[in-house]
Each structure stands twice: as structure tokens, then as C-alpha cells.
Amino acid sequence: MLVLVAPGQGAQTPGFLTPWLDLPGAADRLAAWSDAIGLDLAHYGTQADADQIRDTAVAQPLLVAAGLLSAAALGTDTFTAGAAGVPGAVAGHSVGEFTAAAFAGVLDDTAALRLVRKRGLAMAEAAAITQTGMSALLGGDPETTVPHLEKLGLTPANVNGAGQIVAAGTMEQLAALEADKPEGVRRVVALKVAGAFHTHHMTPAVDVLAEAAAELSPGDPKITYVSNKDGRTVDTGSEVLARLVGQVANPVRWDLCMETFKELGVTALVEVCPGGTLTGLAKRALPGVKTLALKTPDDLDAARELIAEHSAA
């Protein structure tokens, strides 16, 4: 069984979309999305520097667009359950959940991008209230790490499994973490994000997103959708949308998503562009599962072979 996953914020790098725009129809597709959301996605994906694409309001729609563009190049952007080449399940990490929602047919591509554009703007505004950030902790035991973070006033905003937790809070709290690592943690790595996402610092963005989501008419997932909230599968579009809204201010439980992948019988995992982060976690947490990250169009043929070998049909 194949799982198709989409990465979250921090996966972007300067120029990462450049080779994808050489594919037939890709530039036109990106231009149409750019017009729909009022953001020049091609510019930010090809010419902008690291600081410019670190901006939350830019990074989030850029990542969703990249995931959708790479899936279209794969031929896996529109799914019908039971058809050839269809994954058994989809999931996304943080903002990648919007990409996954589009894969599952809950939202069409343009609706997903419009909603995530509003999400990015609202989260950027919330992040501007207090200087906050996020840092990945490599190594350690969650039973030791989580209480230590809470003692420092930090939130375990991403519990990613495979020995990785991402802490979020004020810059002062993160500095204290650098000076006082939990037992067993080897490194603390600052992430390329502009706020303490998935914490109470993002509460102001929830109401904004809820208002925008109320205008949509989501479809029920056409294939299995796995949620960041608790790793459970979700059967209705209204529940997927409600979870997308609430997840802004609540921790991402990617560890539980991977546990669900195991229960579903995952044998292969493909991560859409800009792939790498989630396949890295899967290699450690899902031994024996074949993984592939879409970084450039050069990866497409290998991904198609893996999908054909491990898809639902």
C-alpha cells in the first residue's frame, strides 16, 4: 500500500521550483494559481532568496503549489478510489495537509490555495505580535523531552516520531533551550520559519481561517485521509476542513500519522516536492517501507514505478 505525503513549512529552498516550470503546462498552471491568490508563485519559487520565502504568507501557498504541481507531473493529482496508480492514503505535515486535502478531493486546487493563502497571512500577522520561532530537537526520549520543554514554557508543536520533536515559543525560551537541552538530545536546530506555529501564539489566526472556511463546500475524501490532529483517518470533508482550521493552534502529531500508516499496511511512501523531510522520518520510523522524495523532475520516473508497484489497484 502506497502513501502519498506532502511536506510542511521549512522544506522550501531558493529556486526549488525552477526545473519544474520546464515541464509542459506547469508554468501556465502556476500562473493561473498566482492570479487566483494574488501572489507571484513563479517569482518566489525561482528567483526569491531564502529570507523572502521564509515569510509565512509566501512559504505556505508556495509549498502547497509545489506539491500540487509535482503531483500533476506524476499524473496523480486527481484520484478515484480503486483506480490504477492511486495511493492507499494521503497525508500532509502542517500546511502540507492542505495539499493532501486537494489530493483527496476535499478541496479543488484553487480553493486549497486560496484558503492556505489566507492561512499564511493570518499566521504571519499572529506571529508579528510576539517574536517567536521553532527549533527541532534531534534525539532524546519524548517522555523526558516534553516535560523539559514545558518547564521552559515551550510547546512540543511537532511530535514527528523517529526521535524528533519540534519545540515552539518565544525567542527567549528557545535560547534557554539551547543552553539547557533535555537529557539525550544531541542537537537543537533552528527552523526556517517565522513564528511559533501550532501553539497558542497562533490562536488569532484560527478565527480568520474559520471564517474563510465557512464559505467553502468541501467534498468527502475520495481516498483515505490521515489527519495531523491525532493520526486518525477522516471520512467527511466537513471534518477535514474543521481539523485544518483548528490545527493552526494545536500540535502536529506526525508520529501518530506514521503509526496509522503502519496499521493501514504501508509498503511505500512518496513525498511530493519539495520532498526529503518526511521520507527521512519514514526511513527511521517505518523500516522496510520503500521511500522516494520528489526533489526535481528527474525523480518522476522512479516515483511512477514505485506508485505502479505499490498503489491500491
Q: Which of the residues 93, 148, 198, 201 is marked catalytic? A: 198
Which of these is catalytic: 34, 70, 94, 135? 94
Q: Is residue 70 annotated as part of the catalytic site, yes or no?
A: no
198 is catalytic: yes
CA atoms within 13 A on the CB side of 66: 39
List active site positions: 94, 198
